[in-house]
Structure 1
Amino acid sequence: MAKQLTSEQTLAIEWLAKPRKGGKTYEEIAKLCGVTARTLENWRKDAFFDAEFKRAVIRDNSAKLPELVDSLSTIAIRDGNAAMAKLALQISGLLTDKIEVETKDSGGTDVEALRQRIEALKQRKDNESESSE
């Protein structure tokens, strides 16, 4: 049987998921739920409770997500904040940690031709560096 939250846990999640906990302290929320603050802390350590809490936060804040993403871009540009730029790009799907590389080797790689190509590129780079000095 699937685990379910008690009515006290559901009420606690409603309060905890509010911005700044709805202006309540842990102790006040615990009292509203009819439990001790220690019980509330133990619930927060429970994986099932925590997953439900995170779902409530996402559900309650999903309407604000576009403004959040916009503010990340603004902060990144205004402050030159690389971490914010990275986060904004990750959220938009333009930057991922996963890199997929597909190779198609027919078995006939001409190593000497590759070496010549690399040497030509190095020479071109050296020439460009000299001309810009």
Structure 2
Amino acid sequence: MTDSPNYLIRRKQFTYEMRQAIELLSQPQSGGYTLGQIADICGVNDKTLRRWRAEENFQREVQRRVLQSVNEKLADVMNTTVQKAVDGSGKHTELVLKSLGILKEQHNIVATQHFDEERSDEAIEREIDELKRQLAELDNNN
């Protein structure tokens, strides 16, 4: 049974019906069709389409086709974005520069430690004594 549909999918040998299903499934909202309608269009039953969709290579092929469709529109999207940047949109300028790798988001965290050089050892000792006194007072109240 080497010609079973799942065997063909595993070997990435898609039939005409499978290619039809892949094309429809790769469209936004499946081209407006339900899965049952897609199965009918492809001339298969719902169960067959479900089996195909469960196969990893079939899923990859649908995904590849989606990416191909996106790439076909990418130039138009970039042209529109560049035009809006040229027209003065700061957000679009930022997006264009980031997509070209010219502008990169950086988050710098700088730890600073402030030393009060005016404090003497005696002032520090007085502060420690005061804190101890406050702790003792809290202990006595509880």
- TM-score normalised by the chain length of structure 2: 0.47
Structure of greater relative contact order (alpha carbons < 8 Å, 6+ residues apart): 2
Tell which structure's C-alpha radius of gyration is larger: 2
- TM-score normalised by the chain length of structure 1: 0.50
